[in-house]
Amino acid sequence: MEIIESKENTVYIVSLGGRLDIMNCEVVENKFLEVIDEKKETNLLVDCSALTFVSSAGLRLFIIALKKLNSKGGKMAFSSLDANTMKIFTISGYDKLFKIYKTREEALVNFN
């Protein structure tokens, strides 16, 4: 699992690469909690352009991060999901919980 962090204006971006499954969920969850709790970021964009797989454990950690952000008045969005990941989001109903953008650029323009 590759995690790259960046920030553009008021949006903190976490780019995920590889497989998000039970083997590395804890690392990603800790990263999200660090960004939200320690860095005090409230606008989180998850760039999935290099993400190849998401398991149910990965989906669970997205909900954990969303709940944390909601309690702080924050927002969470996703960009650049491939067809398989989008299908998982649609089947699980996550496409109704999260804003999903085709590209990172589109997400940054429309985030607020």
> Domain with 15 in it: what CATH number?
3.30.750.24
pLDDT at 111: 85
Percent over 90 (pLDDT), the chain: 97
CA distance 21 to 106: 27
Number of domains in the chain: 1
Task: Read off the pLDDT of residues 16-64 as tens digits, 9 standing for 90 and up.
Answer: 999 999 999 999 999 999 999 999 999 999 999 999 999 999 999 999 9
pTM of the model: 0.95
Q: Domain range holding 11? A: 2-110
Beta strands 11-20 and 2-8, pairing class: antiparallel
Judged against a pLDDT cut of 90, whether residue 100 lies above it is answered with: yes
